[in-house]
Structure 1
Amino acid sequence: MKSTLKSLLQKTTLASTVSLLCATPFAAHAQEADNTLLTDRIIIKYKESAKVGRAAIMARETVEKVSHRAGHKMRHLRRMATGAQVMRLEGRKNKAELNAIVSRLKQDPDVEYAEPDLIMRAMATPNDPSYLNQWHYFESTGGLNLPNAWDVTQGEGAVVAVLDTGYRPHPDLIGNILPGYDMISDTFISVDGDGRDSDATDPGDWYENNACQIPDPRYWEADSSWHGTHVAGTIAAVGNNNMGVTGVAYKAKVVPVRVLGRCGGYTSDITDGIVWAAGGNVSGVPTNANPAQVLNMSLGSPSAASCSISYQNAISTARNLGATVVVAAGNAGAVANHPPGNCPGVINVAATNRSGGLSSYSNYGSAITVSAPGGQQSFLNDPNGILSTHNNGSRNPGSDSYFYNQGTSMAAPHVAGAAALLYSVDPNLTPDEVESILTSTARSACNGCGAGIVDAAAAVAVADGGDNGGGGGDGNGNGDGVSWTETNLSGSWRSRQDFTIEVAAGTSSLNVQMYGGEGDADLYVGHSNASQWECISRESSNNESCTISNPQTGTWDITVYGYRSYTGATLEAETVP
């Protein structure tokens, strides 16, 4: 029967809509400044002297009287501890509508006060003083949309391995560092004078002119980069410690794996590091006590080449152990074909700038999985870069500091941190599921940037089951109703997205509403066994609402159809006993 309902939508109900679209040019829909839908509940407190008792408030005639005065149909939900009453409207209202309703209710001389029953949310924005300089987290155009994700999780329980130059014990990072390992076997590269050991701290990776014996100006001479410390800070610098910056997943933990030193690092050491980080066995090296769910590799070959068998075997081993592998796409400003970013099974990350476009240095093309903020600097330590933990030593370690860097090396840890947030809410995710969530929820960006810029909040919402944590039933969290929320819905003209909700016996109401974002999507609601839709809402925006009283028991279908293209919409459904 479900297929019958869906085919009906395609062949009949929407056919006339499509023909209308073909015949009529799109009209511009006015958007009011206060058009965001806020709540569907009102709190009313009657005066003690009023001749309206508790029983009378819940009586049908009293509710009808209140509804008439409000100008909107209402029903009684419950009595509050203060003696006030919670009333529900038919669908959420925007600020202007709520103000008008409250104003009309206050005209009743028996009403002590009336006010919207607004939804409050946890405010997880960190208190770190330089957070406001981390535009790459919160700016709507080029940022990762982290504040809304942090309202759900800050990365608790997730472990990320950073395969890089090691780490400095920066006070804004050390609290989230777990024991790591130095995988560098060559003492010239290691700089620290020894081979593999359990000390993953970064002694510096500086080199003098011609030391690397590579005919490339980029390898003639360089100070220490403190690259691994910067990358690790983007992933998991400690948050809410009133110090410096914060990380994408600021309650996650980092396992540092030192694979890069003077002039870089060998594939043989890096691939051993991949296996070890994910919890695999490496000869002569003790097993990692904290296997990582995410591996970040902000590294790669400067030249295009095929993915080696060594890399592919190591990556496949890590994936089989459950680890998601995130790799920087490279900074050659060319089509992405650089290992290990071009290896099957990795999330290959391009860099975007503060305006949300492809950074000029970033590799691009069909091999890119997603993109993330990497910055675009015009000068050294430019605020248009990515701010993170650093060190001010030119060769050997100096004082701990913070620094703006740019590169796909900075973009990849944003994605690794976002993946950590996903594992925090669902530790059972597979690498394929993590990639699917990140790509399906990314917001569109430039050509060649993969699925788009990672949207941390939208990805976390999907991993968390699409539930905003709100209670159903009587509205105080103690009911037996069902509720769920899907955020950041987007679609093209004529596109459709299908959802379902289970309705239990005795349910008094099924409420479905959509709001927010831009464009124009329509809402269709109907029982799976029915031959037609129970409710069709076609307002000239994304603001749609369907309320079905005494709905039939069983599965109900909910379809969002793109009357025009639309973005950023929120869909909510609930059953009320």
Structure 2
Amino acid sequence: MPNLLPRLPGLLLLTALLAACNPTPTPSDALDARTVPLAQAASGSTSVPFAGQWRVTDRPDWLSVTPLSGQGNVTLTITADRAAATPLKANQSELSGQIKIEWTSGTGSVAKSGAALWTVTAQQFELGGRLVAPAQAQGQDAQSAASLRTQAPAGTARGVIVKYRSASLKPQGGASLSAAQLGQRTLEAARLKVLATSALGTQSAQLNVTNVDAALAALRADPQVEYAVPNAVLSAQAQPVVPSDQFAGLQWAYPLMGYGGVWRDMEAGGYTKPVTVAVVDTGVRFDHPDLKGQLWGPGEGALDVLPFTAGDAQTSPYDSGDGDGPDTDPTDPSIQGRTTGSHGTHVTGIIAARWGDNGVSCDGCSQTGVVGASYKANIKVLPIRVLDAQGNTSEADVISAVRYAAGLPVTLGTTTYRNPHPAQVINLSLGGDISADTARPMCDAIAEARSAGSLVIAAAGNGYGTSPYYPAACSAAVAVGSVTLSGGSAPQRSKFSNAYPEVQLSAPGGAEPYGGNRFNGGTLNGQPFPDVILSTDWDYMKNQPNYAAQVGTSQASPQVAALAALLLSKGVTTGPADTLARLVATATDLGAQGRDDQFGYGMVNAAAALNAPAVSSTLGLRLQSARGLTFQPAVDALGRFQAYLGDGTYRVIGGLDTDSNGIYGEAHEKRVEREVTLARATPRVDVGDLQPR
């Protein structure tokens, strides 16, 4: 204890020396370029001594920075959203982006200013694996499969194929024989007639026999036989139907939903049950040549429910535009100065535009135009006008339109109307951000329509957000979100498409306007065609038919309505409940596994829903994030793939594409799936072999 006191001054001296070795940095009067490595961290902080004012004036979208301005030392927290910067091919092991900081320091003659670029780097996580072709039945599995196949109708097999375990074949106590010779001897010993034989290799042979079942039994009893299977009869694979109409090649949404096989299926007949789809919209142009014969017209149930509102149709915020109030002519009217197209005509064409020659309608007009999903099916559209010339309506008018469409009586003014062709499917490409309480009367009407036998399909909204839009969010309606092409083997959600819990299904509605997406491969006038939805329309300036590109959930909703109608026309389903169940069960699940707010249960697949014949058989991979993003890593000749991705949960799906839509391993196709999570704790994941089954 006494010896400690003399040492205290020395201890204080040591502390002072340490302080002298680590002086406080002097703030700089200028900012220089620097690199901020995040490695695999989600975020990181950096601090630079500075005497002056500064602010962050530019940064890439995948980096967030706080704070954005300050005085004195530049202390920033930088957070990386790696997935937002990961390219489609997922082939960058490290991401890099620059933050621009503008600064000033000093005053008067010593004042300085400038800008510094700070480079932020972020290492990606790794996902690998191998895609393997579907297994072929062998050995005992082949025998089991063959037993099932021999129960098929006569003519599905032309004899049998036998493979022996060894190339050295000897009957008991005899000389060596070929596979064909030994097989023939075995069958003849069983008193079975062999019509012809041929070698298929050193250990295999084809034996033409009349009694396939007995031949298989005799051969499988030989312990030298590895397997014996029927020589199955195969047929040429069906070819997808490709419409020849002038602009059909730009209608990428139909191939994406597998319609090539569906239209081939229609050519065999069977879509004979009559179905009416009510399009509750702006009305329609009955004089559009591409819709001739596809509509219920005036006197056949078509209806305009809009009331007459006195005043100038150009200035009135709510006017029918045709000046005559409710009647049986829902023609989308031409009013002075109108420059917009016909929304209802566009929606109708998606469902029911004619195929083939429409005749000459005007100078320069296309004689063939576009096609609708319905093709040869017994489907007609019932136009009901509820949106006025400015695209507005009221909740009361929607209620009247929905009830009328479903076959329920409605009274407009002093006249009571009843639809002679009640619609099995009602499309509502309209809606708004209103409260659930305000929407109750409209939701009640949709529930009534559902009880009357109508399936109500509605656009989920183009609000770029998460607010429920009504009537889509009504419990008895089917809210439809929009997807578009991604450049990869799975579509992505359209940026404008609202995401909320009531969204049940998705369908192609196109890419964000002016977003520049051109993945569909089509060209128009020598230029790449954007990922938009092309359909019938009307040019009010020239007062003649035309074709126009539009995007939105308004275009996605009729895609679902058309498929629902086809299910009913073919007889796959019979009412609202089983039709919706079929749409859900066969949808292509996108984003997170199962239902999610972005896609609902997934994108509708016409080929799967309608049991269309296979029109392709390619093997491929799709990689989807739980956030709804899609990536397409390269697959080499051996099936191996390596993807560099951000942190998060991913679904890795390998499978066949049998409907020629470029999406592998959908609900009706051979598939295998792995779900993995990449994070700092698991920076590298190998999913192993992916063999579809």
Query: Paired residue for 1:71?
Result: 204
Matches within 5 A, 1:376-455: 376=511, 377-378=513-514, 383-394=530-541, 398-426=543-571, 429-446=574-591, 448-455=598-605
Return the letter of the residue paired with 2:398.
Answer: I
TM-score (norm 2): 0.51
Matches within 5 A, 1:108-507: 117-121=234-238, 124-138=241-255, 143-153=256-266, 156=272, 157-168=274-285, 169-179=287-297, 180-187=302-309, 188-204=318-334, 223-241=339-357, 243-250=368-375, 251=377, 252-263=379-390, 264-283=392-411, 284-303=415-434, 305-306=436-437, 308-355=439-486, 356-376=491-511, 377-378=513-514, 383-394=530-541, 398-426=543-571, 429-446=574-591, 448-461=598-611
Give the 3 Å change call, closer, same or farther, for CA 360–228 of structure 1 in structure 2: same
Work out which of the residue numbers 184, 189, 194 in structure 2 matches 1:62: 194
Residue 277 (structure 1) shift: 0.8
**C-alpha contact (below 8 Å) 2:246/2:368 kept by paired residues:** yes
More displaced 10-residue stretch of structure 1: 115-124 or 157-166: 115-124
What is the alpha-carbon root mean square deviation over aligned residues?
4.8
Number of residues paired by the alignment?
405
- For 1:240 and 1:428, the matched residues in 2 are separated by 29
Residue 301 (structure 1) shift: 1.3
Deviations 1:135-177 (A, max 9, x none): 1111xxxx22211222334864221000000011211112201
Residue 305 (structure 1) shift: 4.7
**C-alpha contact (below 8 Å) 2:672/2:691 kept by paired residues:** no
Unaligned runs of 5+ in 2: 1-126, 138-145, 150-155, 160-183, 218-230, 310-317, 358-366, 517-523, 622-651, 657-663, 676-688
Return the letter of the residue paired with 1:310.
Answer: P
Return the letter of the residue paired with 2:341.
Answer: S
Deviations 1:510-529 (A, max 9, x none): xxxxxxx96489xxxxxxxx
**C-alpha contact (below 8 Å) 1:306/1:338 kept by paired residues:** no
Residue 362 (structure 1) shift: 0.9
Unaligned runs of 5+ in 1: 1-24, 45-51, 79-84, 91-113, 208-221, 470-487, 491-516, 522-540, 543-559, 571-577
**C-alpha contact (below 8 Å) 1:390/1:403 kept by paired residues:** yes
> What SS does the corresponding residue of 1:316 show, helix, strand or coil?
helix
Higher RCO structure, 1 or 2 (CA under 8 Å, sep 6+): 2
Residue 561 (structure 1) shift: 11
Structure with more helix by fraction: 1
- For 2:128 and 2:251, the matched residues in 1 are separated by 39
Matches within 5 A, 1:26-45: 28-31=130-133
Residue 119 (structure 1) shift: 3.9
Query: Paired residue for 1:502?
Result: none
**C-alpha contact (below 8 Å) 1:73/1:89 kept by paired residues:** no
> What SS does the corresponding residue of 2:319 show, helix, strand or coil?
helix
Residue 325 (structure 1) shift: 0.3
- For 1:306 and 1:569, the matched residues in 2 are separated by 48
Return the letter of the residue paired with 1:262.
Answer: A
Give the 3 Å change call, closer, same or farther, for CA 89–152 of structure 1 in structure 2: farther
Residue 125 (structure 1) shift: 3.6
Deviations 1:430-483 (A, max 9, x none): 21211111111111223521111111111112xx9xxx69xxxxxxxxxxxxxx
Quick one: percent identity of the two aligned structures?
30
- For 1:199 and 1:305, the matched residues in 2 are separated by 32
**C-alpha contact (below 8 Å) 1:149/1:458 kept by paired residues:** no
Query: Paired residue for 1:22?
Result: none
Give the 3 Å change call, closer, same or farther, for CA 116–518 of structure 1 in structure 2: farther
Return the letter of the residue paired with 1:348.
Answer: A
**C-alpha contact (below 8 Å) 2:423/2:454 kept by paired residues:** yes
Give the 3 Å change call, closer, same or farther, for CA 520–413 of structure 1 in structure 2: closer
- For 1:457 and 1:367, the matched residues in 2 are separated by 25
- For 1:260 and 1:172, the matched residues in 2 are separated by 22
Query: Paired residue for 2:68?
Result: none
- For 2:690 and 2:242, the matched residues in 1 are separated by 25
Residue 121 (structure 1) shift: 3.4
Residue 414 (structure 1) shift: 0.5
TM-score (norm 1): 0.60
> What SS does the corresponding residue of 2:481 show, helix, strand or coil?
strand
